[in-house]
Amino acid sequence: MSELIKVEQRDGVVWVTLNRPEKKNAITQQMYLDLAHTLEQAERDSSVAAIVLQGAGDNFSAGNDLYDFLAMEELDESAPPFEFLFTLSRLSVPVIASVDGVAIGIGTTILLHCDFVVATEQAKFALPFIHLGLVPEAGSSQLLPLLCGHLRAAELLLLGDTIDATTALNYGLLTKVVAQEQLTGATRDIATALASKPVAGLRTTKRLLKQPSEAVADRISREAKLFIRALGSDEAREAIAQTLHKKKQSS
């Protein structure tokens, strides 16, 4: 297990922390593998009532580490990001996301697979795939319209604009918004409440809740094929290169 993913299990709850604060918890291929492994272990452990996903420092996640992503020699549906997404989408364990700061790209699409999302007033959300010449992932092209309607989903995916926590709450993407100093406590309250319930009942109920969207795995697969094709295009390469150049200039 990489030090970039911290895992702590206590009282029926697995706390998973993206531990790369100096990079705003941008996710590397190894981190995706570690995340998938951690989720699989939690799913197999019948004592686990909840999983908490959080970021170290003042941010949830800036999304994919673009340098690491572009360095991949081969990208297909068995690649670490998609392995993680398939695993996350199939969990029967309730998942709580605890979000502060930025949640960009997969940092936001992860939330669509969570059962509770607690965010701070400072949290910002963005799906900038269109700016990079890419397409949505994580089943977001299906899940987002279901959550907030076609028009709002189009706004987020076709314009790629950033929204604040109040807007995200109004769009139905969040469970609640709290002050920054209340984030850990509010997250813990939900985790503790879940851990007090019969685990088998929790997992069965979540499976029932997810039944209408069981084809999400199929959508992730379709998006993955299109994402891989888009990533190999000249348009995407140029857009990503420009983004990285701007980052270098601003750092």
pLDDT tens digits along 138-148: 889 999 999 99
- What is d(CA 4, CA 108) in angstroms, rounded to the nearest whole number? 19
Average pLDDT over residues 12-30: 97
Q: What is the pLDDT of residue 214?
A: 54
Q: What is the pLDDT of residue 220?
A: 77
Average pLDDT over residues 125-143: 92
User: What is the separation of C-alpha 199 from the centre of its chain, rounded to a whole number of angstroms?
Assistant: 24
Average pLDDT of the residues of the chain? 92
Q: What is the pLDDT of residue 250?
A: 79
- What is d(CA 34, CA 38) in angstroms, rounded to the nearest whole number? 6
Share of the chain above pLDDT 90, in %: 71
Average pLDDT over residues 197-225: 80
- What is d(CA 59, CA 124) in angstroms, rounded to the nearest whole number? 9
**Token pair for residue 9?**
């299990």
**What φ, ψ does residue 57 adopt, rounded to 5°?**
75, -145
pLDDT at residue 71 tops 90: no
- What is d(CA 135, CA 93) in angstroms, rounded to the nearest whole number? 28
In Å, how far are 64, 68, 70, 182, 206 from 73, measured between CA atoms? 16, 10, 8, 43, 37
165-184 pLDDT per residue, tens: 999 999 999 999 999 999 99
Q: Where are the domains of the chain?
A: 5-178+214-243
Helices (H) and strands (E) in the chain, counts: 11, 9
Share of the chain above pLDDT 70, in %: 97
CATH number of the 5-178+214-243 domain: 3.90.226.10
Q: What is the pLDDT of residue 175?
A: 98
pLDDT at residue 247 tops 80: no
3-state secondary structure of 125: strand
Cβ neighbors of 209 (< 8 A, separation 6 or more) are 115
Q: What is the pLDDT of residue 107?
A: 97
Neighbouring CB atoms inside 10 A of 218's CB total: 11
Instruction: Give the model's confidence band at 1: pLDDT under 50 very low, under 70 low, under 90 confident, else very high.
Output: low
Place of tokens 């959300």: 125
89-103 pLDDT per residue, tens: 999 999 999 999 999
Within 13 Å, how many C-alpha atoms sit on residue 118's CB side?
A: 21
Q: What is the pLDDT of residue 213?
A: 56
31-49 pLDDT per residue, tens: 999 999 999 999 999 999 9
